Amino acid sequence: VEAELLEKIRKGDRLALSRILTAVEAKTMQGEGYLDALFSSTGKAHKIGITGPPGSGKSTLVNALVKAFRELDSKPKVAVLAVDPTSPFSGGAILGDRVRMLDTQSDPGVFIRSMASRGALGGLAERTEALSQIFDAAGYDLIFIETVGAGQSEVDIVNLAHTTIVVDVPGLGDDIQSIKAGILEIADILVINKADHPGADQTLRNLKTMIAMGKPSRELIASKHALQEIGNRPKETHADPLIWTPPVHKTIASQQEGIHNVVKTILKHKDYLVKSGTFQIKDHEILRRSLERQLSQSLYRAWQKNASQKEIEAVIAKLIRREISPKEALNRLMAL
């Protein structure tokens, strides 16, 4: 049955894929079974996270990127996972979104899926990872994951994607540079969308300056890990093949302008990831974190089974009366 299923989704059976995604997202027993069965076929897809403020044009940009990737000679299969709760991507109620997605929706090599953000069982991050595994097993080469609120959101895109694209727009002002500094930490590629709006060049200069000023880049840290893991790999001829400096691009996504440069940079970043060993390291980290998340959930559930609510409440009551310290409360709860 599993081989049959895999064959079906590999052949592009969209209905089968859709059903599997729904079961996996709802975390049904069947869904968990699918994940299990398909896991050995995962690990190939390039996962690209897109983040940035609502309305900055993330969905429009993804749409434009998907189109551009499909026009490449390699014709990669592309999946889109929209986890942004503020803007339904496709199949949503917003007409504008539906119209914008039309041109890629008729393409059999493209699959777009919106995720319900509320009430996701086991957490949004876990479900996002699970759904992207299904796309991966189904043979999608690229998986775009659109989300908001980098760093603060439940879906920490950096922990899910190989490449993180941060979308910015002109004219947000210098007063939020501190926020931007935080965002720069996570960006592999920066896109200033809505470059048709005034101030795009100023924003471009600002971002470039901030990047040049330097930061303890996580790429550098990753590179160190890569060097350790790879050991005595042959020396590259390029100056610094293991260092990635985030490029900044201007786009007008709604007019498909500047998109090819972003595509080129994404391909370049993939190349960098593979050559530096970071692609594999990220994959390992994603799997490790996901397992750790599930382990702590399982342990908590197992503990909860053994502890009665009455006993727990009794400990909390003592704590709030200041009869025991939080540390003592924890000790007592653990002893249950």
Give contact residues for ligand GDP (rule: CB under 6 A): 54-60, 87, 193-194, 196, 252-254
Other C-beta atoms closer than 10 Å to the C-beta of 252 total: 20
Q: Which is nearer to ligand GDP, 144 or 272 (CB)?
A: 144
Minimal distance, residue 44 CB to ligand GDP, in Å? 27
Q: Label residue 144 left, alpha or beta by phi (over 0 means left) and psi (-120 to 50 means alpha).
A: beta
Minimal distance, residue 71 CB to ligand GDP, in Å? 19
Please give the Cα distance from 159 to 149 (Å, whole number).
Answer: 14
Q: Under rule CB under 5 A, which residues in 87-106 are in contact with Mg ion?
A: 87
Minimal distance, residue 257 CB to ligand GDP, in Å? 7
Q: Which is nearer to ligand GDP, 57 or 277 (CB)?
A: 57
Q: Which residues, in sequence order, are bridge partners of residue 49?
A: 145, 164
Q: Which is nearer to Mg ion, 23 or 82 (CB)?
A: 82
Q: Is 295 helix (H, G, I), strand (E, B) or coil?
A: helix
Give me the half-sphere count of Cα atoms (radius 13 Å) on the Cβ side of residue 186: 23
Please give the Cα distance from 117 to 110 (Å, whole number).
Answer: 22
The partner in contact with residue 254, picked from Mg ion, ligand GDP, none with C-beta cut-offs of 5 to 8 angstroms by kind, is ligand GDP
**Residue 203 touching Mg ion (CB under 5 A):** no
Please give the Cα distance from 158 to 48 (Å, whole number).
Answer: 9
User: Which residue, 63, 21, 55, 58, is CA-closest to 38?
Assistant: 21
Pairing of strands 163-168, 46-51: parallel
Minimal distance, residue 147 CB to ligand GDP, in Å? 10
The only residue of 25, 84, 126, 219 in contact with Mg ion, by rule CB under 5 A: 84
| Residue at shortest CB range from ligand GDP | 57
The only residue of 56, 59, 147, 163 in contact with Mg ion, by rule CB under 5 A: 59
Say which residues have a Cβ less than 8 Å from residue 11's Cβ, sequence separation at least 6. none
Minimal distance, residue 82 CB to Mg ion, in Å? 6
User: Encoding tokens for residue 270?
Assistant: 């993939």
Q: Which is nearer to ligand GDP, 254 or 280 (CB)?
A: 254
Q: Which is nearer to ligand GDP, 87 or 104 (CB)?
A: 87
Q: What angle do CA 62, 159, 31 make, to 5 degrees?
A: 80
Q: Which is nearer to Mg ion, 59 or 132 (CB)?
A: 59
The partner in contact with residue 91, picked from Mg ion, ligand GDP, none with C-beta cut-offs of 5 to 8 angstroms by kind, is none
